[in-house]
Structure formats: structure tokens, C-alpha cells
Chains A and B, each alone.
Chain A
Amino acid sequence: MASYIIRRILIGIPTILALVVFSYLLIVVAPGSPFAGERPLPPDVLANIEARYGLDRPLAEQIASYVWRIVMDFDFGPSFAYQDRTVTDIVLQGFPVTLTYGFLAFLVSVLVGVTLGIVAAIRKNTWLDYLAVGISIGAQALPNFVMAPILVLVFTLWLGVLPGGGWQGGQLPYLVMPVIALSTSFMASIARITRSSMLEVLNADFILTARAMGLGFGRIIFSHALKPAMLPVVSYLGPTFVGMITGSVVIDMYFSTGGIGQFFVNAAINRDYPLIMGITILTGCLTVTFNLVVDVLYAWIDPRIRY
């Protein structure tokens, strides 16, 4: 197992490197320039700026020196759009915010989703099942950009109990709506995956054996069915978790939380190459890491899986 993990980490390095090269090429190939404004800059000024940021050099050299600086100094470069700020700065400011509400939303969607899915499965074709399925279909139909305005309308404008936006260091009232808005549709997917995999497991022969051994219903669910039923959920959770903690543009824009999602979109609009690259690398590393975590969890859940 340990050797497998080390091997996977080693494979992760070229993966990230490929990611860096491809995204760098994509950004540069895309039309537009970081310094294109309403009024075009005089050519010699533009040339000066490009020279300052090394954009006049051949592409391969640009990429090589970018990677070199990251590896040697952990330097992701300056932001083009935010004057006098480095990419590391911006990520360190925005990432804790998205990590906080993203992680909370993840917890909420897993706890509620798994519970709903299990209830629906063990009470299949009863009103409880229909209710749980109904809730998850409804939630699925409410993506965060619909949820967010509805929440603000209800809790801020009508009831006046929650602030309509802001972060304030992540105080509870400022967390509630971002977490709910972000978790709703994920919760729905998790509920549906849990329900179908639980139903499948409950049909397995070994569940019949457990019943024949006189085990009670609760014990069968928690001691025998839950672990295998979680396998498909776990594989869904890996990429989902990364998606959630790296933030959501909608949440950041709508609630002005100042998370990384907002910076990412602005960076793309501004052609802020270093910032786009920095956030892409962060997401890439997290994806590689959590795919590994999922695989390790898999082996822990299912003893027949060995690497």
C-alpha cells in the first residue's frame, strides 16, 4: 500500500507538469492580451511591459522559466491585474474562504444526502421514499445560481434574519446561505447515488444470509450494507470535494464572500496569466491528491481491492 501511494504521488508530478504546459498554451493561444484596454497602448510601451513580464521570449522558454521559479522558489509570479500583489498572496487570501464554506457545504451535502438516500432505500416505495426522492429531484433542479437569489429573497429581504452577503472572517450568519446554496445540488446527487447503490446492496446474497442469521434490520443496514453501499458515493465525492473547496464563482459573486472562485473568473477575463495558472495548479494538485484519497478509501472499504 505504501509503495502504491508513493508510486501514485510520483505519477502525479508529470500529470501536474502536463497540466501546466497545456493550460499555459491554451491561455496564450486564446485571443486577447493582459494589457489590451479600451484604448490600445502605444507599441513601444506594450513591448516594454511584455519584456518586463518576460512575454516577449519564446513560449517554451516562458513555460520553462515559470516552472523553474515555482520549483526553486515556490514563486507563482506577480498578478498582472492586481497591482503589486503576487499570485501566492491572492490564493492565500481567497482559498481559506472557499475552503471554509466549501468544506462545510461538503459536510452538509454528504450527511444530508447519505441520510436521505438510505432512508429512501430502506423505505422503498413508501411515502418516505417518495418524499426523499422528491426532495432530491427538487434540489437537483435548483442549481446554486437559482438557490442563491431565492435564499437572499427569503432570509434577507423577507425575514431579515441573515446578511445578504459579505464574509466577516467567516462568522456563522455569513456562512449559512453560501453553504446551503452550494450544497443543495450536490446533496441531491449524493442522495440519488446512495439510494440506488443501497438498493443494489440490499438485494445481495449476503444480506439474505445476514437476515437468515437473525440479524435485525438496523444491524443489517449499518453493519453489513452501509460500507459497500458507500463505494459509488466515495468515487463521486473525490472530484466533488475538490470542486467544492476550490470555490464557486456564483457563490463568491453573489454573496461577495471574496473566495477564490471570483478571482479565478476575473483572472480569466483579465487574461491575468499567472493568476489563472496558479489557481489551475492548485485545483490540479487537489484533484490528484483526492483521487488518490478515493483510491485508498476504496481499498479500505473493499478488501478485495489491492494495489
Chain B
Amino acid sequence: MALLQTRNLSVTFSTADGPVHAVNDISFNLCRGEILAIVGESGSGKSQTAFAIMGLLARNAHAAGSVRFGGKEILGLHETSMARIRASDIAMIFQNPMTSLNPYKRISSQMTEVLRLHQGLSRREARFQCIEMLKSVNLADAEIRFEQFPHECSGGMRQRIMIAMSLLCRPRILIADEPTTALDVTIQSQIVELLKTIRQVYGTTILLITHDLGLVAGCSDRVMVMYGGRVMETGPTEEIFAAPVHPYTATLLEAVPRLDREVSELPSIPGNPPNMLGPIPEGCPFSPRCQVGDQTCFTRIPEVSRSGQRSWACLKRDKGTGHETVAGN
């Protein structure tokens, strides 16, 4: 059974201009020990999906559907029960390490606080475990850094500290929301390597949220592509990169610069990302920009088609429409 099951999850924000449907009816499984990457452009609903799982949505947001962790429903759980799950079962790290640590408190005080709260450790024991964890995320001079304030560390160090802090209680799931976006390229690859090591050493299941396809290719086992608050396509990373089924995935991959292919101009997807304000569109959210679709795409939400480990939601890519990797399954 999957460690985390999400069924028909929707997130709606009530705003002064009307409801914003950030996430519409998405379902996916997170399996024990895997790294699942959710990719999508800004506003595709990937971060809100993570916040909904953590119960950290903004006050004006409402989540519907089901999120089960280890078979237990956790969506809509009371704040105090949810607080017990956070960090000890499901932990989360964020996009900007420069702002996600409290600048007014020493790293030592922020880290030990978590351990003392969830595991009731003594100050001394907590301190010992924190330093051990800082060492295991390869933070140089862990003992010195431990006593410093966040502003005395670089961005990469702070993201390591965030990761160490999130792992203190050995959570089964780590949700990493764009963990490398705010870092420079060399540090990015170090953090990706660190995430892979963590999975190996602690067996942590990782939900990686990113818009960086290179990052996805480098470390995830499976990919879930989101657009306009819906899941477009899900499948093993290698297969999706080799042969995308959904037209959105295909155009998205074409827009990525590659070293092994020479193009004079990098293609972009025509049109604009969808406006999430107002009623939920009746058709596929990608239909206004899709090169493959026709009128029917505007009026019908595509069913999810499955083949092996892959699934996709597109009217024009039904099962057995002749796509190489899908055919014959």
C-alpha cells in the first residue's frame, strides 16, 4: 500500500475577486522509499498540493477530497493533531532558505526546540542529536554553525540546516518545495545529491516539488506533471522523458535546452498560463494552448488513462491511440 494516498484533492481560495481553484481533483500515490517529483509551471497548483497535505494552507483556502497517511485520513485533521504529524511523520522544507529560518534565534535553539517538543529529549541529548544531524547533511564546522545565527551562514548552508532540522525526528516523508530554486547552480546539485543520500541512508520518501526539469531528471523515480491545478501525466521519470504522452509534457520537454540537440531557437508554448480565477473550466485546462486538441477538449474533462506505471489525462491520447511506449500494454 502507498505511504501517502491523495484522492480527489481540491484546493479553493476564496478571494475578494471570487473563488480561485488552485488544485482541482487530483489523485496520486506516494510509495514507500520513492522520490516523486511534481513538476509544473508557477500557478499549476504543485505547492498548494503540498501545503494541503501538510495542513498548512492559508486561512482563506479550503481543501476537499482525501489525503491518507499510512491509511489514516489526515486532511481536515484538527490543528493540534496535525502538529504532531508534522516534522515527526511528514516534514517539509521550503524554497527560500534565506528567509525560512528564524533570523532572531540561534540555529541551536531552533533545532533543539523541535526535538524537545516531539521527542521530549533533554537539552543535552537534543543538542547532541542536532549536531550529529548537521554533520550527516555535510555541514562544515557543524559545532560552530550550530551556535550561530542564520545570517552568519550562506544560502546553501542554511538549506542544509533546514534539511537537517526537518530530518531530526526521522520523518517517513520529506516534502521539498522547490528546495534549490533560490540557490546557485553548483549548490543546487549538492542539495540534490544530499536528498538522494538521505533517501538511501534514512529510507525517507521524498516528494520533490519543482519547475526544474533538469532536477527531476537527475533524481526522481517518478514524475507527476501538473498544469492548471490538474494532473496531466504521471509515470516513471525515464519513460516520461523518453516518450511523453500528454501534449503538455511533450511541449514542455521541447522547451528545455539540451546539450545533445542543436536548435537555433528554443521553442516556447504559445499562449499564457491559465487564469485560475472564476469557475473551474469545463474542459482540459491546457486546451487553449494545445496544438493537438480540438473543440471537444474545451467541453470535457479527460478521463485518466492508464498503461502500466503510466497514466495521463488527455482526450486525444486515449489508450491504444498508437503511442509507441503505450501501445501493446
Within 8 A of A (CB), among B92-114: 92-94, 96, 99-105, 113-114
**Cross-chain contact A215 with B117 (CB below 8 angstroms):** yes
* One of B79, B84, B151, B165 near A303 (C-beta < 8 A): B151
Contact with A along B134-155 (1 / 0, CB 8 A): 0000000000000001010000
**Cross-chain contact B96 with A205 (CB below 8 angstroms):** yes
Query: B80 to chain A: which residues have CB within 8 Å?
Result: 216
Within 8 A of A (CB), among B22-64: 54, 56
Query: B117 to chain A: which residues have CB within 8 Å?
Result: 214-216, 219
Contact with B along A215-249 (1 / 0, CB 8 A): 11101000110011000000000000000000000
**Cross-chain contact A302 with B92 (CB below 8 angstroms):** no
Chain B minimum-CB-distance residue to A211: B56
**Cross-chain contact B118 with A214 (CB below 8 angstroms):** yes
* Shortest distance from the beta carbon of B178 to any chain A beta carbon, whole Å: 13
Does B10 sit within 8 A of A, measured CB to CB? no
Query: B99 to chain A: which residues have CB within 8 Å?
Result: 204-206
Query: A208 to chain B: which residues have CB within 8 Å?
Result: 56, 94, 100
* One of A205, A217, A224, A227 near B94 (C-beta < 8 A): A205
Chain A minimum-CB-distance residue to B168: A213
**Cross-chain contact B104 with A209 (CB below 8 angstroms):** no
**Cross-chain contact A212 with B87 (CB below 8 angstroms):** yes
Complex Cα distance, B165 from A216, in Å, reads: 17
* One of A205, A211, A303 near B104 (C-beta < 8 A): A303
**Cross-chain contact B88 with A228 (CB below 8 angstroms):** no
**Cross-chain contact A213 with B103 (CB below 8 angstroms):** no
Q: State whether A304 and B103 are in contact (beta carbons under 8 Å apart), knowing that A214-B84, A214-B87, A215-B83 are contacts in the complex.
A: yes
The count of chain B contact residues (Cβ–Cβ below 8 Å) is: 31
Complex Cα distance, B80 from A217, in Å, reads: 9
Q: State whether A214 and B102 are in contact (beta carbons under 8 Å apart), knowing that A205-B94, A208-B94, A303-B151 are contacts in the complex.
A: no
Chain A minimum-CB-distance residue to B86: A214
* Shortest distance from the beta carbon of A198 to any chain B beta carbon, whole Å: 14
Does A301 sit within 8 A of B, measured CB to CB? yes
Q: State whether A212 and B101 are in contact (beta carbons under 8 Å apart), knowing that A217-B79, A304-B149 are contacts in the complex.
A: no
**Cross-chain contact A212 with B151 (CB below 8 angstroms):** no
Complex Cα distance, B165 from A37, in Å, reads: 77
**Cross-chain contact A209 with B94 (CB below 8 angstroms):** yes
Contact with B along A71-115 (1 / 0, CB 8 A): 000000000000000000000000000000000000000000000
* Shortest distance from the beta carbon of A304 to any chain B beta carbon, whole Å: 5
Q: State whether A228 and B96 are in contact (beta carbons under 8 Å apart), knowing that A213-B87, A215-B113, A216-B80 are contacts in the complex.
A: no
Q: State whether A301 and B104 are in contact (beta carbons under 8 Å apart), knowing that A209-B162, A216-B83, A223-B113 are contacts in the complex.
A: yes
Query: A223 to chain B: which residues have CB within 8 Å?
Result: 105, 113
Complex Cα distance, B134 from A177, in Å, reads: 57
Does B287 sit within 8 A of A, measured CB to CB? no
Query: A304 to chain B: which residues have CB within 8 Å?
Result: 103, 149, 151
Does A210 sit within 8 A of B, measured CB to CB? yes
Given contacts A212-B86, A213-B87, A224-B105, 9 further A-B contacts (CB under 8 A): A208-B100, A211-B83, A212-B92, A212-B93, A213-B86, A213-B166, A216-B83, A224-B104, A303-B104
11 pairs, CB–CB < 8 Å, chain A vs chain B: A206-B99, A209-B94, A211-B83, A212-B54, A212-B86, A213-B87, A215-B117, A224-B104, A224-B105, A227-B104, A303-B104
